[in-house]
Structure 1
Amino acid sequence: MGNQKKTRVKEQYFIPLEVKEETIITKEFEDAPRMWSKIGNRKVRTILVPATREQYEAYMRPEWKEDKRQQRLAEKRMKQEEDKTLQGWDTPVSYEQLRETGYGFLGATEQDSLEEIVEKEELLEALRRELAQLEELDRTILEMFSRGISEAAIGQEVGLSQKGVNKRKHRLLAALRERLEAYR
């Protein structure tokens, strides 16, 4: 019993490579079997490329993160459907809905005064002017973000990394906040 050696079976890791018409496959993988694999939330035709554990985890971590974000978003939406009064940061609401819920839009008389309405209209007009002056890329980022699209998905759409989108978005929001300070 004491002389027995324990042998470790080395785990093998594979990265699924989606096979499309435009996918370039090297000679060593030309005859590799094609199979259906799940990448993120979708099933696609793939070949499995051998990789080290570090390569596998580095490749899959963003996929896992996005998958988990999508799961949380789906759970939140299901919860909101059960409880219609629950509003999240990604739930689009109208001005009328905000007034009904009383999130600071009502005056003492339960109605906005004419002055408050004019101030809000001026703020909206100033915001529209500021947004019109932004570069097309910046407007696209803000517009997609306002629809609840993830930074990673925005980055894929506009050709930036998720971190690049995050930094640009925060810089834009800070600049807009500063320019519209007079309207607060």
Structure 2
Amino acid sequence: MGNQEKTRVKQQYYIPMEVKEGTIITKEYEDTPRTWSKIGNRKVRTILVPATEEQYKAYMQSEWKEDKRQQRLADKRKKREKAQVEHRDDFSIKGWDTPVSFEQLCETEYGFPRENRQDSPEEILEKEELLEALRRELAKMEELDLTILQMAIQGVSEAAIGREVGLSQKGVNKRKHRILKQLRNQLEDYR
């Protein structure tokens, strides 16, 4: 192999930009061919915009994380379905998306009252006061914080929330934890 020089081909990176009705495309990219690309979990018509390696990795990192999360959830579902077919209970594969019955929640002491139990007038009053305090605290929040909180409650991933509100996933995570900590502190008297 003597003095053979290794030739390195510089890899070119492209970021897919979705093209849909109303997308404004500069003259520079008018003649660029449209291709089908996967953005998130959707296949869409795109043009490929040249980018540096750093730009490409920064853009794709949240997409890769979301894809990995979806793969883990799919694997967990498959294992859970296999365990159900084999009529065995495998607690290691139960997660937040595992469907459970009301009875199972009561058995695991998640704090749900039994169907035949009635709340006392004092408990009802305490709950109403807590809800009123929660409404007051939510009314004080910024619009961005409310949006993040609502989307998180609906099960939207932090990466998707970040794309929606214009923050990074880490920024959404920090803000969400700050919001929840603030609510816990404000509602501490009602516990």
User: Relative to structure 1, is the Cα distance of residues 21 and 11 closer, same or farther in structure 2, using a 3 angstrom cutoff?
Assistant: same
TM-score by length of 1: 0.74
* Local SS of the residue matching 1:8: coil
What do you get for the CA RMSD once the two structures are aligned? 3.4
Aligned-partner Cα distance in 1 for 2:128–2:83: 34
Query: Unaligned regions of 5+ residues in structure 1, if any?
Result: none
Q: Quote the residue 1:70 is aligned against.
A: 70
Structure 2 letter corresponding to 1:98: L
Per-residue CA deviation, residues 138-164 of structure 1 (Å, 9 max, x unaligned), is 444333322321122233444554344
Checking the alignment, whether the CA contact within 8 Å between 2:134 and 2:187 is kept in structure 1 is no
Structure 1 letter corresponding to 2:49: V
Alignment of 1:8-27 (within 5 A): 8-27=8-27
1:150 aligned onto 2:157: yes
Q: Quote the residue 1:170 is aligned against.
A: 177
- Deviation, 1:99, is 0.8
Checking the alignment, whether the CA contact within 8 Å between 1:90 and 1:148 is kept in structure 2 is no
* Local SS of the residue matching 1:48: strand
Structure 1 letter corresponding to 2:179: L
- Deviation, 1:97, is 4.0
Q: Quote the residue 1:5 is aligned against.
A: 5
Residue-pair matches, total: 179
- Deviation, 1:4, is 3.2
Q: Comparing 45-54 with 93-102, which one deviates more in the overlay?
A: 93-102
Checking the alignment, whether the CA contact within 8 Å between 1:13 and 1:50 is kept in structure 2 is yes
Q: Quote the residue 1:38 is aligned against.
A: 38
Per-residue CA deviation, residues 33-87 of structure 1 (Å, 9 max, x unaligned), is 1111111211110111222222211111111112112222333344445557754
TM-score by length of 2: 0.72
- Deviation, 1:103, is 4.1
Alignment of 1:92-107 (within 5 A): 96-103=103-110
Structure 1 letter corresponding to 2:51: A
* Percent of paired sites with the same residue: 68
* Local SS of the residue matching 2:20: coil
* Local SS of the residue matching 1:25: coil
User: Relative to structure 1, is the Cα distance of residues 36 and 166 closer, same or farther in structure 2, using a 3 angstrom cutoff?
Assistant: same
Structure 2 letter corresponding to 1:58: A
Q: Quote the residue 1:182 is aligned against.
A: 189
User: Relative to structure 1, is the Cα distance of residues 83 and 172 closer, same or farther in structure 2, using a 3 angstrom cutoff?
Assistant: farther
User: Relative to structure 1, is the Cα distance of residues 75 and 54 closer, same or farther in structure 2, using a 3 angstrom cutoff?
Assistant: same
User: Relative to structure 1, is the Cα distance of residues 42 and 113 closer, same or farther in structure 2, using a 3 angstrom cutoff?
Assistant: closer
Q: Comparing 146-155 with 84-93, which one deviates more in the overlay?
A: 84-93
